[in-house]
Amino acid sequence: MRDLRHMISLGDRTEPGLWRPPVCKTVASRGEGVEEVMEAIDKHEGWLDASGTRHTRRLKRAADEIEAIAVAALRARMGDLRAGHGIAEHAAAVVAGTIDPYAAADDVVAHLT
């Protein structure tokens, strides 16, 4: 338990109001400490709601999911960029130093629209 508490203290949790996970001593096979674990879980649930962390995390997960779906849809609409969009020629130009990768990408994107 001491080692776990020490490991938790090493984390960057010095900002006031952040959740500091408790260490609960349990022996599940004997039913010891189970109530303490359940209480800790309930306290964490309460903190998630009171601090707004649950809502913030849900918003971030939803935004990440929307972004992933949108990127997948865009990739599906674009098709395989390597087929017929001059990627090989642009790659050769980048290697030759006649164009930088950003300009090459801009040119590929411009020809997609």
Answer yes or no: is pLDDT of 13 > 70.
no
d(CA 32, CA 26): 5
| Residue 22 DSSP label | -
Confidence of residue 17 (pLDDT cuts 50, 70, 90): confident
Cα–Cα distances in angstroms (integers) from residue 10 to residues 56, 93, 103, in the given order: 25, 49, 45
Own/partner long-range contacts of 81-90 (Cβ < 8 Å, ≥24 apart): 81/108, 85/111, 85/112, 86/111
Query: What pTM was estimated for this model as a whole?
Result: 0.62
Confidence of residue 34 (pLDDT cuts 50, 70, 90): very high
Domain boundaries, given as residue ranges, for the chain? 81-113
Of 38, 28, 8, 31, which is closest to residue 20 (Cα–Cα)?
8
Predicted local distance difference test score (pLDDT) of residue 43:
96
